Structure 1
Amino acid sequence: MRAVSPEVFLISRPEVDYVELAEYLRAVGGESWLQRVDESREGWNDGQNLAEFAGRTCYRSWEPGLNPNVTRVRSDQGEYLRNILASAHGSVLEHVNYTFALHNVSRVFTHELVRHRVGVAISQESLRFVRLNDIPFWFPEWAREDAELMKRATEMLDRMEEFQNWMAAHFGLDEDGVPFAEKKHRTSFMRRFAPEGVGTGLVWTANVRTLRHTIEARTAAGAEEEIRLVFNRIGEIMQEEAPALFGDYVVEDGAWIPIWRKV
């Protein structure tokens, strides 16, 4: 058994093609909004820019007069996006996607996470193909403080790990010439003897609308403790990454509570 802790890596964020965006804005008369884009774009946040761009497209609110119904436009991005959240205009947030690599999370965690299907993409490590030669396992702090529990749990996990390696030798999986199809067949059987708490990995992509909902739902007091830990970290990452889109949360006893809900 190998003790591990869940880890979160933000590996992909939106990237706006400002050349094409500029062509569109010239076509619709949105040059005044275009002027805000500095050539170096230093300090610009593509995720927030994309959300604002999508929102302004809906009302043609690049500047007053393009839409006769619009006589005033917000020039400050933070103010504009706060109004998007307050108005529950969440559809424009679906254009903005972030991708995370989640490392050493358990299959308990992934069984919970896959319940969030709208606005996400998931690629998970397959134990049909990936053979276990050790069992990475996360213990919460309260469990680590229980000496008798840890002794018994470690003994059981070590025995399961030993059995995984025994099966690999028994099936001759490392012998020369064993077809991959045979390895896959045996490995699929062997995973049945791994605990649901075994550490695994996945790539998880979600749009901002889904992220906001999932951070709130999975850090709530009644959520499973590992998923609370992971989404607390995701919340911290996103608050730093896109403060105008995630700055309205208040954290109380580990629960992330947004000012604007059901966006």
Structure 2
Amino acid sequence: MRAVEPEVRLVARPDVDYAEVSEYLAEVGGESWLERIDRGDLDDAQNLAEFAGRICYRSWEPGLNPNVTRIRTDQDQYLKNILASAHGSVLEHVSFSFVLHNVSRVATHELVRHRAGTAISQESLRFVRLDDLPFWFPDWAREDPELMARASGLLTQIEEFQGWMADHFGLDEEGVKFAEKKAKTSFMRRFAPEGLATGLLWTANIRTLRHVIENRTAPGAEEEIRLIFGKVGELMVKEAPSLFGDYSVQDGAWVPGWRKV
């Protein structure tokens, strides 16, 4: 048994092709928008969200749409208005990918309920044979010596059984076909605890992220997933402050200033 801590790593973010954007804006008369925005490493997410919003109303500058006589030129104010007006569809164009590492299957079973606006690739125990049992314990459990002794003993016994099965089935012997390894490994996973730590790549758009961060850090959410999405929230405030800066954190719960975006 190996004690682990859930980790969240942001591994992919939007990448805007400004040359293509520029050609489009030259056709519709919105070149001035490109002159107003920043184009640093962390600007593409917010620029893409603003781009999507302005397409809807042709609001690159006053007069392009006869109904638009003035526009917001400050991006922070523009995006806050998007949130306040619940124009969430434009946020679905902006996606981020996270590696969730050493998170339990308890947490991933909760997470997969959020399907809209996500993509998920999780480590498969049908193919990946267990040789140890990484496991996360909350602080209150670690402070209980008898609980930890019994839990560690049980996990060690399960871990030893996994090793015994691999030897019993001869999975490491020369000539064993992969199809047999897969079949036996699939059987062996049935004896692994649901709290076993695993890993997955999880991609979600901004609209989904806002919803999941709020729901999975709420006081009634499962404690491990609250920890995970508190970390996600912290990353997103740094990545896109105009799109996540409306949250206040209250006893670990991320409460947005604007809901149902």
Question: Which TM-score applies when normalising by structure 1?
Answer: 0.98
Structure 1 unpaired stretches of 5+: none
Q: What's the C-alpha RMSD, in Å, of the aligned pairs?
A: 0.8
Alpha-carbon contact 2:37-2:47 (below 8 Å) kept: no
Matches within 5 A, 1:143-162: 143-162=141-160
Matches within 5 A, 1:3-152: 3-37=3-37, 41-42=39-40, 45-152=43-150
In the TM superposition, what is the alpha-carbon distance from 1:36 to its structure 2 partner? 2.2
SS of equivalent to 1:78: helix
Correspondence 1:237 to 2:235: yes
SS of equivalent to 2:65: coil
In the TM superposition, what is the alpha-carbon distance from 1:31 to its structure 2 partner? 1.1
Separation (CA, whole Å) in 2 of partners of 1:261 and 1:51: 17
Q: What residue in structure 2 maps to residue 214 of structure 1? A: 212
SS of equivalent to 2:71: coil
SS of equivalent to 2:36: coil
Q: What residue in structure 2 maps to residue 224 of structure 1? A: 222
Q: Give CA deviations for 1:57-82 in whole Å, capped at 9, x if unaligned.
A: 00000000000000010000000000
Q: What residue in structure 1 maps to residue 161 of structure 2? A: 163
SS of equivalent to 1:139: coil
In the TM superposition, what is the alpha-carbon distance from 1:37 to its structure 2 partner? 4.6
Separation (CA, whole Å) in 1 of partners of 2:100 and 2:108: 10
The number of aligned residues is: 261
SS of equivalent to 2:15: coil
Q: What residue in structure 2 maps to residue 247 of structure 1? A: 245
In the TM superposition, what is the alpha-carbon distance from 1:140 to its structure 2 partner? 0.2
In the TM superposition, what is the alpha-carbon distance from 1:35 to its structure 2 partner? 1.6
Instruction: Tell which deviates more after alignment, 25-34 or 185-194.
Output: 25-34
Structure 2 unpaired stretches of 5+: none
Separation (CA, whole Å) in 2 of partners of 1:52 and 1:261: 19
SS of equivalent to 2:130: coil
In the TM superposition, what is the alpha-carbon distance from 1:43 to its structure 2 partner? 5.9
In the TM superposition, what is the alpha-carbon distance from 1:122 to its structure 2 partner? 0.2
One-letter amino acid of the structure 1 residue matched with residue 4 of structure 2: V
SS of equivalent to 2:219: coil
Identity across matched positions, percent: 75
Separation (CA, whole Å) in 1 of partners of 2:34 and 2:245: 25
In the TM superposition, what is the alpha-carbon distance from 1:44 to its structure 2 partner? 5.5
In the TM superposition, what is the alpha-carbon distance from 1:42 to its structure 2 partner? 3.4
One-letter amino acid of the structure 2 residue matched with residue 128 of structure 1: R
SS of equivalent to 1:35: helix
Separation (CA, whole Å) in 1 of partners of 2:172 and 2:41: 52
Q: Give CA deviations for 1:190-218 in whole Å, capped at 9, x if unaligned.
A: 00000000000000000000000000000
Q: Give CA deviations for 1:75-94 in whole Å, capped at 9, x if unaligned.
A: 00000000000000000000
Correspondence 1:201 to 2:199: yes
Separation (CA, whole Å) in 1 of partners of 2:59 and 2:245: 24
Change (3 A) 1:43 1:2: closer
SS of equivalent to 2:114: coil
SS of equivalent to 2:46: helix
Alpha-carbon contact 2:162-2:188 (below 8 Å) kept: yes
Separation (CA, whole Å) in 1 of partners of 2:168 and 2:123: 24
